[in-house]
Amino acid sequence: MSDLQHRILQVLDAQDVIQDTKVQFPELDSQTVQAALNSLLARSMIKYTNIETDYWLLTDEAKDIVQNGSHEFRLLQEVTTNLEGLKIADVGTVLGKNGKLGQAKAFKNGWIFKDGDRILTKFKDRPLPNDETAQNLKDIKENQGAGVDKKELQDLKKRKLITMSKIVSYKVEKAAEFSLEIVQLNADITSDMIQSGSWKTAKFKPYNFNSEGVFPQSGALHPLNKVREEFRQIFFSMGFTEMPSNQYVESGFWNFDTLFVPQQHPARDLQDTFYLKDPATAKRPEDKEYWENIQRVHQDGAFGSIGYRYPWKEDESLKMVLRTHTTAISAAMLKKLAEDPKPTRLFSIDRVFRNEAVDATHLAEFHQVEGVLADYNLTLGDLIGFMQSFFDKMGVHDLRFKPAYNPYTEPSLEIFAYHKGLGKWVEIGNSGMFRPEMLEPMGLPKNLRVLGWGLSLERPTMIKYKLSNIRDLLGHKVSLDFIESNPAARLDEDLV
Amino acid sequence: MPTVAVDKEDLYQLLGKSYTTEEFDELCFEFGIELDEDTTNDCAKGERPQLKIEIPANRYDMLCIEGIAQALNEYLGRASAPAYSLQPPVPQVTMTIKESTSTIRPYAAAAILRGIKFTQRSYDSFIALQDKLHTNLCRNRTLVAMGTHDLDTLEGPFTYEALPPSEITFIPLNQTKAMDGNQLMDFYEKDKNLGKYLHIIKDSPVFPVILDKNRNVASMPPIINSDRSKITLETTNVFLDITGTDKTKVAIVVNQLVAMFSRYCSTPFSIEPVNVVSEHNKETRVFPDIKPRVMQAELSYINSCLGLNLDVDTIIQLLKKMGLQPKKNESNEDLLDVYIPITRPDVLHQCDIMEDASIAYGYNNLVKTQAQSQALVAQPLPVNKIADIVRLATSQSGWSETLPLTLCSHDENFKFLRRNDDSKAVKLANPKTIEYQVVRTTLLPGLLKTVKENRKHSLPIRVFECGDIVLKDETLERRAKNQRNWAAVFVGKTAGFEFVQGLLGKIMQTLRTDWLEKPSAGKRGYWIEQDDTNDTFFPGRGAKIFFRAIDGAEAKEIGSIGVLHPEVLGFFEIPFAASSVEINIEKFL
């Protein structure tokens, strides 16, 4: 415990109050005093208030003047000592960079006069005058210029010899726990105290609970992946197996033709779909019959459908694309299901690609959440009932279904949910029954119906995290701070 | 989805009711169209309020006010489907298709509407419908294009031929000067509306043209009509020409046009047929073909799909609301013979009839049920399971997960990593920007771009990704496959190789894989070996990562680790030192 703390306590004991610490302890700087006061304050032994006082400080130049005289006085001394005076041209050489300043001031004071190219003194035969500048600065240094008039202070300030500063000092009074003895307070319980038992008698500093504590050094999972995991758990809880959606590259056959998307469909435009130049074409699928079925159902009609009746082209079908939806994988999985048809539930959450102009809500890549439910004699009531259970798990209860069009589902239902915040119905996904033209060419039995539905992963996530720009959520522009400070994703927590 | 703007007052008059916006919105929702905008509050003085309605992409019969009103009135039970007739029943006019068209635009059709009375708004609607059809069903006139003419300015019979451009001369619509085919191409090259269609015929040695008896040009499809035959408000007899490359869609377009506008004929819903002679390809036939198509639908199928047990009369009533004309099949109780009107070419299968029944019933009136197969066993995809193990272990080690895009520029995937194109990467044919040239073959570009964007983050930056790269594979049907990689980057004042090395150790420990001090002993485990051939790394500071899955088995190279070369960091504009590690985690499946 510092001596200063004891001195403060003794002074207070003697006079009850310290009106101003800078008067009481003039030799101490403000910070030293404050540290001692805070320590006593923490023990509730004293209380204090701040006093702010204006304070003149001498610049380095002024300190030099106090010691060696003002520039004008030094010039006068030089000129007076030297009988010949001083050549004007030599002022700088003899007196340094401030010589000219001193020269001007000395002329102004009437101390010197000019004779040709020389300066001569007016004090040849009489004592030198007072060096007022030096004296004033000395006075300021010693007692804050009590004897210096205001105009002179301003002049010195203008000459950058003094600067105004604020000095903080304190008025100190006794407080509840005042005593001359300072009891040692401990900041924390240590293992030594526990082992020695000294914790029983030790006194502890009061805790500041109004603080956040020290955050742990930690890593983080990506927010979008956290939401993805929520969806996965919903699917798992409803008996859905994850599809092998790790296949970004598809042929037009699997991405479009198998889904009964005609070859002239706008979705197949260069404007919307990424085509590949290397590899440019796929091989034909292994199942020749399936390949021919697809051609027939598009071109001539088959499986109870009149078809689109256009010349179906192999070249178009074998063009390579980056998949535009994960339904390309669902198609391959359903084709596989035809080998051993049975009730099946499948899902995937993975990337899809669209050749779109990038803006706040569109990226060339995003994630599609897709579910597929196959069973004998499924009904639309089952689809709607299922959607209700699925979205219930996300905390979305108020659903409505709108007829829509999709080339591979019939009926197609857009799913709307009531958004309390926006006060309106918003579209949250698409669903439908896959068309017989998609299922029967695979060899699936006619009464095995398949429900499919999909939504983007980003859209509900953006709503959840109140993001307006998809680039703040996916891609390399996402802020690491956002990732690191992002809370757990809980879809059951007011999503819509 | 096309959006059709209709006159609000006219539509409500046709529907026999002034709806509030909410009421009309509700009607649209249940029927499956969407009220996009009601302009009532944005109209300038004297402007008529419009409703902008989104129409599903397969309902070509609802691309004009006439069709929307017809469909909604039938849905509301206020009207039945119109009965179209041919008058006279036998065509008086012929149009002959010449073989010369077969190389450029082989199919054509025609029809005549007699005694039409246009108003300004019905005339505008007629023009707008043609625009909507051109952009949607006709795929910007590539598949089909249509022209409409004042029949009284022409004289049949007509021919449809393909002629060298220099032999086609006429005054194009709304112009004053006659031009030949070549001049026309130059004239319209910069035209905002027509310029985009020139490519359809431009490079052909012959252009398609429709001529009347006196060799007057009616139109040069799919570009422009002649000024001579243009229709006006005063036109009473309209000749329609439809040409195209898609036979099915040519017939659909003829039917939509006559179905929508024959209502304005002196005998409503009557159409004068045209005999289209096409001997060379045996496509001679009479247009339009207004005979409804009959498609059979099973009542049991409809009920089963809807999860309902509706009787035949109820289902008939439902289908009638959707413009279909069902009749009981005489020999099979479970069958309906559904007459599909010419307006509904979207009906391809009985599932489309089933859907119409469900829309008419109301999706939101269906009873919610649960599929029977509820107790299925669910499982994750194995590669996702491994990925999750690695992701959790990495984040627990204090590293942050990033999610960059899988598409990147060629430079980012190769040059910026000081690598040569090994032609393993899948390359895109039609990207809109250079940001998307290849599918990445390494996770490094995404991680380094993420670091670049987060340069202001406190150091060290520790980031990772577990994601797919794509590699070409000639043996596969799709000639490429995904591979799940895991990569991490440490960025700081020093390169911190020991930190990525330690992280690799942690991940290997998580995957039950020990570090092998003596790999030659042949135990399961991993080790790293200096590799001076990997130019992504600083010389002498790069290594290969090896993994042996089973004691005694051959070890496989599974990735690389090292201090990133300063030039790599320079390319990615990262002003710090860095180390990286990347492995293929599918080896741990």
What is the pLDDT at residue B375? 66
Asked whether residue A120 is assigned to any structural domain, the reply reads yes
User: What is the structure's pLDDT at B219?
Assistant: 95
CATH 3.40.30.120 fits B382-588, yes or no: no
Residue A25 has pLDDT above 90, yes or no: no
Residues of chain B with CATH 3.30.56.10: 3-75, 293-361
pLDDT of residue B530: 96
8 Å CB contact of A436 and B349: yes
Q: What is the ipTM of this complex?
A: 0.92
A168 touches chain B (CB under 8 A): no
Residue numbers in A near B29 (CB within 8 A): 400, 402
**Residue B547: CB partners within 8 Å, gap ≥ 6?**
B513, B525, B526, B555, B556, B558, B583, B587, B588
Probe site for chain A from B138, B349, B350 (most A CB atoms < 10 A): B349
Instruction: Tell me the pTM.
Output: 0.82
**Domain annotation covers residue A140:** yes
Query: Which sign, positive or negative, has the C-alpha torsion B128, B130, B135, B137?
Result: positive
The predicted pLDDT at position A115 comes to 80
Are A372 and A227 contained in the same domain? yes
Q: Tell me the H-state helices in A96-208.
A: 99-109, 132-143, 150-158, 191-196
Total domain count, chain A: 3
Beta strands in B14-138 (DSSP E): 34-38, 50-54, 85-86, 93-97, 107-113
pLDDT in tens, B3-49: 999 999 999 999 999 999 999 999 999 999 999 999 998 888 889 99
Q: Are B116 and B233 in contact (CB under 8 A)?
A: no
Q: Indicate whether A441 pLDDT > 90.
A: yes
Measured at the CA of A97, the angle between CA A93 and CA A103, to 5 degrees, comes to 80
Chain A, nearest residue to B58 by Cα: A405
> In this structure, how many other beta carbons lie within 10 angstroms of the beta carbon of residue B520?
7
Of A365, A385, A449, the CB nearest to B407: A365
d(CA B433, CA B441): 19
Which secondary structure element, helix H or strand E, spans residue A241, and what is its range? strand A241-242
Strand, helix or coil for residue A235: helix
Residue in A closest to B246 by C-alpha: A310
- State how beta strands A344-353 and A241-242 pair: parallel
Q: Is A297 a domain residue?
A: no
Cα gap B156→B210, rounded to integer Å: 11
A90 in the same domain as A20: no
pLDDT of B528 > 80? The answer is yes
Residue A316 lies in a domain: no
Angle at B330 between CA B326 and CA B331, to 5 degrees: 125
Report pLDDT digits (tens) over A282-321. Answer: 999 999 999 999 999 999 999 999 999 999 999 999 999 9
C-alpha distances in Å from residue A440, one per residue of A303, A337, A372: 7, 12, 16
Q: Is the pLDDT of residue A357 over 50?
A: yes
Is A207 among the domain residues? no
CB contact under 8 A, A478 and B402: yes
The β-bridge partners of B578 are B491
Whether residue A495 has pLDDT greater than 60? no
How high is the pLDDT of residue B134?
Answer: 94
Residues near A64 by beta carbon (within 8 Å), at least 6 away in sequence: none
How far A436 CA lies from chain B's nearest CA (Å)? 7
Q: How many CB atoms lie within 10 A of CB A103?
A: 23
Task: Determine phi and psi for A204, rounding to 5 degrees.
Answer: -120, 145
The CA-to-CA distance between both ends of chain B, in Å, stands at: 44
Q: Which of residues 343-362 of A touch B (CB under 8 A)?
A: 343-345, 351, 353, 355-358
Q: How far is CA B118 from CA A317, B131, B227, B264, in A?
A: 45, 18, 19, 7
The boundaries of every CATH 3.30.930.10 domain in chain B are 382-588
A341 belongs to a structural domain: yes
| pLDDT value, residue A1 | 47
Nearest to B369 among A238, A381, A477 (CB): A381
Are A246 and B383 within 8 A, CB to CB?
yes
Nearest chain B Cα to A317, which residue?
B478
Of how many residues is chain A composed? 496
pLDDT of B523: 92
CATH number assigned to the domain with residue range B293-361, chosen from the 4 options 3.30.56.10, 3.30.360.10, 1.10.3720.10, 3.40.228.10: 3.30.56.10
Tokens of A127: 């004592």
Query: pLDDT value at position A26?
Result: 85
- The answer on A181 and A90 residing in a single domain is no
Q: How far is A462 from chain B (nearest CA, A)?
A: 15
Per-residue pLDDT band for A494 (boundaries 50, 70, 90) equals low
What is the residue whose two structure tokens read 């996702």? Answer: B384
User: Does the beta-carbon distance from B349 to A238 stay under 8 Å?
Assistant: no
Q: How far is B294 from chain A (nearest CA, A)?
A: 11
**Residue A77 belongs to a domain:** yes
Percent helix / strand / coil, chain B, rounded to 5: 30, 30, 40
Min mean pLDDT across A84-88, A416-420, B321-325, B582-586 is at: A84-88
Amino acid letter, B479: R
Closest Cα to residue A364, out of B452, B414, B431, B450? B431
CB–CB of A428/A407 below 8 Å?
no
Share of chain B above pLDDT 70, in %: 100
Average pLDDT, chain B: 95
Per-residue model confidence (pLDDT) at position B374: 66
First CA to last CA across chain A, in angstroms?
Answer: 61
Average pLDDT for A57-84:
84
| CATH tag for B85-287 (out of 3.40.630.30, 3.30.70.20, 3.50.40.10, 3.20.20.300) | 3.50.40.10
Does one domain contain both A331 and A405? Answer: yes
Place of tokens 């790269």: B469
Nearest-Cα distance to chain B for A494, in Å, is: 24
**Any B CB within 8 A of A426 CB:** no
Look at residues A410, A411, A404, A407 and name the one whose alpha carbon lies nearest to residue A429.
A404
Which residues, other chains included, contact B41 with Cβ-Cβ below 8 Å and sequence gap of 6+?
none
Interface contact A249, partner B, CB < 8 A: yes
Residue B246 tokens read as 């898609």
Pair (A233, A89) in one structural domain: no
Cβ atoms of A418 and A398 within 8 Å: the answer is yes
Q: Do A388 and A474 fall into the same domain? A: yes
B-chain CB neighbours of A435 within 8 Å are 349, 351
Render A327-381 in DSSP notation, one character per residue. Answer: HHHHHHHHHHHTTS---EEEEEEEEEE--PPPBTTB-SEEEEEEEEEEEET--HH
CB contacts under 8 A, A 461-480 vs B, are 474-480
From 3.30.56.10, 3.40.50.300, 2.60.120.380, 1.10.10.10, which CATH number describes the B3-75 domain?
3.30.56.10
Residue A150 above 90 pLDDT? Answer: no
Q: How close A468 comes to chain B (CA, Å)?
A: 18
Contacts of B449 in chain A (CB under 8 A): 476
pLDDT at A145 over 80: no
- What are the start-end ranges of the H helices in B136-230? 181-188
d(CA B326, CA B406): 52
Question: Residue A175: is its pLDDT beyond 50?
Answer: yes
Q: Is residue A209 assigned to a domain?
A: no
Can you name the residues that pair with B164 across neighbouring β-strands?
none
Q: What is the CATH number of the domain that holds A180?
A: 1.10.10
A437 closest CB neighbour out of B139, B349, B403: B349
Local structure of B50: helix, strand or coil: strand
Farthest CA pair distance, chain B: 98
Instruction: Give the CATH number, domain containing residue A474.
Output: 3.30.930.10
What domain range includes position A85?
Answer: 60-162
For B139, the 3-state DSSP assignment is coil
Please give the Cα distance from A131 to A33 (Å, whole number). 37
Cis peptide before B345 (omega within 30 of 0): no
pLDDT digits (tens, 9 = 90+) for A190-238: 999 999 999 998 888 888 888 888 888 899 999 999 999 999 999 999 9
Dist. CA A1–CA A51, nearest whole Å: 25
Q: Tell me the pLDDT tens digit for each residue of A29-51.
A: 888 889 889 888 888 889 999 98
DSSP of B317-346:
HHHHHTT-EEEE-SS-TTEEEEEEPTT-TT
A464/chain B closest Cα distance in angstroms: 18
Contact A225 B461 (CB under 8 A): no
Q: Nearest-5° angle of CA B571, CA B572, CA B573?
A: 90
Q: Do B453 and A477 count as a contact with CB atoms less than 8 A apart?
A: yes
Distance from CA of B397 to the nearest CA of A (A): 6
Looking at the structure, do residues A402 and A444 belong to the same domain, yes or no?
yes
Exposure on the CB side of residue B536, measured as CA atoms within 13 A = 26
Token output for B26: 């509700």
Torsion of CA B141, B142, B144, B148, to 10 degrees: 30
Which residues on B lie below 8 Å from A402 (Cβ)? 29-30, 32, 34, 363
CA–CA dist B195, B188 (Å, integer): 6
Mean pLDDT of chain A: 89
Indicate if A344 and A369 belong to the same structural domain: yes
Structure confidence at residue A496 (pLDDT): 46
Q: Round to whole Å and give the CA distance between B230 and B108.
A: 19
